[in-house]
Structure formats: C-alpha cells, structure tokens
Amino acid sequence: MRKLLFVNACMRGEESRTRKLCEAFLETYRRKHPDCQVEEVDLSRQELRPYDLGMLAERDRLIGEEAWDDGIFALARQFAQADDIVVGAPYWDLSFPAALKIYVEHIMACGICFYYTEEGPKGMARAQTMYYLTTGGGFIEGQNFGAEYMRGIARMCGIPQFQEARAEGLDIIGMDADALVAEACQRAAALAE
C-alpha cells in the first residue's frame, strides 16, 4: 500500500493557515491515490526532545548493534519507508518552528535514512518527492532558509524531487489573507495532482 507521510509542523493547530494548504494537498492526494495510507506526525503534540549527550550515546550504541527495530528509530524508519513526504511548516524567523529541527534530529539516523561513503552520504529513503508547504506573514523573497534546509535533508536522504507551495504577505495590513491562502491552496492541490 502506498504511504504518504505528513510531517505537520503547524504549531497553531486548527488556527494555522499553513494547515489549510496541507489539507488541500491531502484531499487531492487521497483522491489521486484512493488506497493510500496517510501517516501524520503532529509535531505540536509529539514533544520530542532535542538530542543531548546521553541520547546520542544511546543512539550510537544502538547503531553499532544495528538494532534498527528499536523504538528510538521509529520516526526514522517511518520517514525512510514513506512513498511521498509532505512537510507543512509556517515561516518562522526566516525558517520554520524549532520542533521541525528536532524532528530532523530524530530521523537522521545513519543506517536508516542515509549512510556515509568516501564520496559523501548516500540516501536510503524510498520517497521520490518531498513537498514543502508554508505561509509567511511578510514576503519570503528567496530567504526561506527552512525550505532550503529541508531541500538539503531530502537530497541527503536520496529523495530526488523537492516541490513547494506557499502563501506570502498574510500579516501585511491591507492584504486579503483569505484570498491569498485560497490561491495557495490551489497550488498545493496542484502539486498533489
């Protein structure tokens, strides 16, 4: 069965406008792939811990033992096994919410999502495309370091395609935020076509 992983970093939950783009994408994706399984990781509820010395030591030990079935690698396995990945993340501080960075720390297990060679890292993820959906209060104008970072993560994991949809300027007085979000929802849906 085809698996879509939805990495939901929309920290404002139901209030989130980025979430609306995600819903538009998911609706079209489900219509295109009626038998797909959508797995959501809701980072506003997960309360993942950033890696510290003890956690790194434990992870290194488990990697050394090739204990890939250990629960510590559950998010990494899920990421590596998805057929497609959609990331929804609002534009915060030229990037995205910190919860998404912590999620990345949890998935980037050497031996599951990538491995190192003398020529550099080789990706092990199955997905063909990472979709990145965002909304910004101002204009993003080529300064989305979050999206560029996630593009790099996709490349390192061997995911060849990276596609984006966004709405910008939503917090600027005088802008019709609802209309801008509606247009961006159409672009998000078109990505899933």
Ligand X SMILES: Cc1cc2nc3c(=O)[nH]c(=O)nc-3n(C[C@H](O)[C@H](O)[C@H](O)COP(=O)(O)O)c2cc1C
CA torsion sign, 11 to 125 to 76 to 63?
negative
Convert 128-167 to b/e letters by CB count within 10 Å (16 or more is b). Answer: eebbbbbbbbeebeeebebbeebbebbebbbbeebbbbbb
Does 137 bind ligand X (CB under 6 A)? Our answer is: yes
Of positions 69, 171, 178, 183, contacts ligand X by CB under 6 A: 171
Does 94 bind ligand X (CB under 6 A)? Our answer is: yes
Convert 56-85 to b/e letters by CB count within 10 Å (16 or more is b). Answer: eeebeebbeeeeeebebbebbbbbbebbbb
Does 138 bind ligand X (CB under 6 A)? Our answer is: yes
Does 170 bind ligand X (CB under 6 A)? Our answer is: yes
Does 91 bind ligand X (CB under 6 A)? Our answer is: yes
Of positions 8, 16, 28, 144, contacts ligand X by CB under 6 A: 16
Min dist CB 188 to ligand X, Å, is: 13
Q: Which stretch binds ligand X (CB under 6 A): 16-24, 52-60, 65-73, 119-127?
A: 16-24
Does 90 bind ligand X (CB under 6 A)? Our answer is: yes
At 107, phi and psi to the nearest 5? Answer: -90, -25
- Residues of this chain that bind ligand X (CB under 6 A): 10, 12, 16-19, 90-94, 135-138, 170-171
